[in-house]
């Protein structure tokens, strides 16, 4: 028989979960039960736990448990990112860093989770984090993920801010390699070093190949890139 709990229509099985939630929260194993529910992508039970946890668990434990599940939720790719939204709206800390220094946005970009990135950007995450000489933007561009890169730029990422300039120094080169015309066009709006040399002695224009689209070449030339720059192999862009 269905019942209604906090606006949720529940079946007999859901009611069992509801009762279990009460027992779980009473014995302070909230984090474990939330983790199991998130892993199962059990949206209804996650919602019940989130609602009841707010009332019965200490704030510190509650926020820590929610935050711990952010990356798991992104990895599971919850349909419509409903679970991710629940956790964030309940107070999960979007800029908390894991042991490797990554935030959940960083992880989502690394994992090419476009829908999750879109959802996370609604909560104003730190766009300037640098981890192991990489930024969210440099990761997206280096993997050819133009959709994520454009979302990051549209959200206000400054690719050449003094704190991220070094980590983002090869963005133009990567745009050329992956034919990311739209991203390149956006990056060229900034005050950038068009003749930046990469570890192989190449400028962005030196990275052009027969597979590079003509608009990429035109954008760089119009921005002032030199066709005479010689790389380590003594080749110019038009060689």
- Note the pLDDT tens digit of each residue in 38-67: 999 899 999 999 998 988 888 898 999 999
- Note the pLDDT tens digit of each residue in 161-194: 999 999 999 999 999 999 999 999 999 999 888 9
Boundary residue ending a domain (60, 93, 126):
93
Residue 158 lies in a domain: no
Boundary residue ending a domain (69, 93, 117):
93
Residue 118 lies in a domain: no
Residue 18 lies in a domain: yes
Domain boundaries, position 22: 1-93
Residue 101 lies in a domain: no
Boundary residue ending a domain (67, 93, 119):
93
Measured CA to CA, the distance from residue 228 to residue 222 in angstroms comes to 15
Residue 36 lies in a domain: yes
Q: What's the mean pLDDT when you consider all of the chain?
A: 86
* CATH classification at residue 215: 1.25.40.20
| Of residues 88, 79, 132, the one with CA closest to residue 110 | 132
Number of domains in the chain: 2
Measured CA to CA, the distance from residue 134 to residue 166 in angstroms comes to 9
Residue 172 lies in a domain: no
Residue 39 lies in a domain: yes
Q: What is the pTM of this model?
A: 0.84
Residue 2 lies in a domain: yes
pLDDT-flagged residues of the chain (< 70): 1-28, 78-79, 230-239
What is the secondary structure of 181-238 as a DSSP string?
HHHHHHHTTS---TT---TTS--TGGG--TTS-HHHHHHHHHTT--TT---TTS--TT
């Amino acid at each position: 028989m269905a019942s209604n709990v906090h606006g949720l229509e529940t079946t007999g099985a859901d009611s069992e979960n509801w009762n279990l939630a009460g027992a779980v929260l009473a014995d302070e194993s909230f984090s474990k039960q939330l983790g199991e529910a998130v892993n199962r992508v059990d949206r209804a039970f996650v919602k019940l736990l989130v609602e009841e946890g707010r009332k019965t668990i200490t704030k510190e434990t509650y926020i820590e448990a929610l935050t711990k599940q952010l990356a798991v939720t992104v990895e599971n790719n919850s349909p419509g990112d409903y679970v991710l939204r629940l956790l964030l709206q309940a107070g999960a800390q979007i800029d908390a860093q894991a042991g490797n220094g990554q935030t959940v946005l960083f992880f989502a970009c690394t994992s090419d989770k476009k829908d999750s990135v879109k959802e996370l950007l609604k909560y104003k995450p730190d766009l300037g984090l640098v981890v192991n000489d990489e930024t969210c933007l440099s990761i997206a561009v280096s993997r050819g993920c133009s959709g994520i890169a454009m979302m990051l730029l549209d959200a206000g990422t400054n690719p050449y801010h003094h704190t991220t300039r070094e980590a983002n120094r090869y963005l133009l080169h990567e745009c050329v390699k992956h034919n990311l015309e739209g991203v390149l066009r956006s990056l060229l709006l900034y005050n950038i070093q068009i003749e930046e040399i990469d570890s192989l002695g190449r400028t962005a224009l030196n990275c052009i190949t027969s597979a590079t689209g003509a608009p990429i070449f035109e954008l760089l030339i119009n921005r002032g890139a030199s066709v005479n720059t010689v790389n380590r192999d003594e080749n110019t862009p038009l060689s």
